[in-house]
Copies of this chain bind each other. A is one copy, B any other.
Amino acid sequence: MAKLQRRLRLGMVGGGPGAFIGAVHRMAARLDDRFELVAAALSSDPEKSKSFAKEIHVPRAYGSYQEMAEAEAKHPEPIDVVAIVTPNSTHYPVAKAFLTAGIPVMCDKPMTMTVDEAEDLASIVQKTGLTFGLTHTYSGYPMVRQMREMILDGALGKIRMINVAYVQGWLSTPVEQTGAKQAEWRTDPTKSGKGGALGDIATHAYHIALFTTGLKAESIAADVTTFVPGRRLDDNVQAMIRFEGGAKASLIASQIAAGIENDLTLRIHGELGSFEWHQENPNYLIHSPLNDAPRTITRGGPTAGPWAVFSTRVPSGHPEGYLEAFGQLYKDLAELLEAKLEGREPNPISTLLPDVQDGVRGMRFIDAVLASSENGSAWTKL
**Residues of A participating in the B interface, judged by any CB pair closer than 8 Å:** 6-7, 20, 23-24, 26-27, 30-33, 56-57, 156-157, 160-161, 163, 165, 167-169, 172-173, 221, 223, 225, 227, 236, 238-240, 242, 246, 248, 250, 252, 254, 256-263, 267, 269-274, 279-283, 287-298, 300-303, 313-324, 376-379
Contact = CB atoms under 8 A, between A and B. Distances in A.
B288 A57 contact: no
Contact of A281 (B236, B281, B289, B303): B281
Given A225-B248, A260-B274, A292-B302, 13 more contacts: A30-B30, A33-B57, A163-B252, A223-B242, A223-B248, A256-B269, A261-B300, A262-B318, A263-B317, A293-B297, A320-B323, A376-B379, A378-B378
B259 A292 contact: yes
30 contacts: A20-B315, A26-B33, A27-B33, A30-B33, A31-B323, A163-B167, A169-B269, A223-B240, A238-B240, A239-B240, A240-B377, A250-B250, A257-B274, A259-B273, A260-B269, A261-B298, A279-B319, A282-B319, A293-B295, A293-B301, A293-B302, A294-B295, A294-B296, A296-B296, A314-B321, A314-B323, A318-B322, A319-B321, A320-B322, A321-B324
A295 B296 contact: yes
Contacts of A238: 161, 240, 248, 250
The 7 A-B residue pairs with the shortest CB-CB distance, nearest first, are A262-B317, A259-B288, A261-B317, A319-B321, A318-B322, A293-B295, A295-B295
Copies of this chain in its oligomeric complex: 4
B24 A314 contact: yes
B165 A163 contact: yes
Contacts of A56: 33
A202 to B, nearest CB: 13
Contacts of A274: 169, 257-260
B262 A315 contact: yes
A289 B183 CA distance: 20
B262 A258 contact: no
Nearest to A314: B322
B160 A227 contact: yes
A317 B168 contact: yes
A77 B359 CA distance: 47
A160 B313 contact: no
Contact of A377 (B221, B254, B267, B321): B221
